[in-house]
């Protein structure tokens, strides 16, 4: 009985220590900030910036990410582009850098190799989430989002 009591105490102490280890420091929060001069591009910083990934793409949006599985640019800071309805040339941070996408619209989006909406890479159906085909990785310059 005595050993069991000590193990229970160690388990409780261990659980409390684990909770304290993952608790962000006071005042730390995740922030989504627009990138100046890059319409629709946002950076995400904070304690869970590397975890959330696709979570930043809201219902009704078409979002592109520079890394696989909704990842962003750099380490520690994650970035993504929310493409508006209609024809758009990708902002500088995403020209030839898109690797993954999430189309949270009911309509499709077509992606193109060139900024004049030529060289179709294919259509991203409404509701699709994932990585672009390997041959299309880092190839997108423009998009047409059907709305």
For 26-77, write each residue's pLDDT tens digit: 456 777 788 888 888 877 777 766 666 677 788 999 999 887 888 765 544 5
Better pLDDT: 100 or 43: 100
Report how far residue 58's alpha carbon sits from residue 54's, in angstroms, rounded to the nearest whole number: 9
pTM score, whole prediction = 0.70
> 59 CB contacts (<8 Å, ≥6 apart)?
104
Six-digit token string for 59: 């219902």
Report how far residue 54's alpha carbon sits from residue 70's, in angstroms, rounded to the nearest whole number: 5
Six-digit token string for 108: 């499709």
Report how far residue 97's alpha carbon sits from residue 74's, in angstroms, rounded to the nearest whole number: 12
DSSP H or E segment with residue 42 = strand 41-45
pLDDT at 107: 96
pLDDT at 97: 84
Mean per-residue pLDDT of the chain: 77
Indicate the CATH number for domain 28-145.
2.60.20.10
Domain chopping of the chain, boundaries = 28-145
């Amino acid at each position: 009985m005595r050993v069991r009591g000590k193990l229970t105490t160690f388990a409780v102490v261990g659980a409390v220590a684990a909770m304290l280890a993952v608790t962000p420091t006071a005042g730390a929060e995740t922030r989504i900030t627009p990138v100046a001069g890059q319409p629709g591009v946002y950076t995400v910083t904070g304690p869970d910036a590397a975890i959330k990934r696709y979570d930043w793409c809201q219902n009704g949006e078409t979002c592109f990410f520079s890394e696989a599985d909704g990842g962003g640019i750099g380490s520690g800071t994650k970035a993504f582009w929310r493409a508006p309805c209609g024809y758009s040339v990708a902002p500088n941070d995403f020209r030839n850098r898109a690797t993954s996408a999430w189309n949270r619209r009911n309509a499709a989006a077509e992606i193109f190799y060139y900024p004049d909406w030529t060289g179709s890479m294919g259509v991203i159906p409404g509701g699709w989430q994932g990585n672009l085909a390997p041959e299309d990785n880092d190839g997108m310059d423009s998009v047409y989002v059907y709305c």
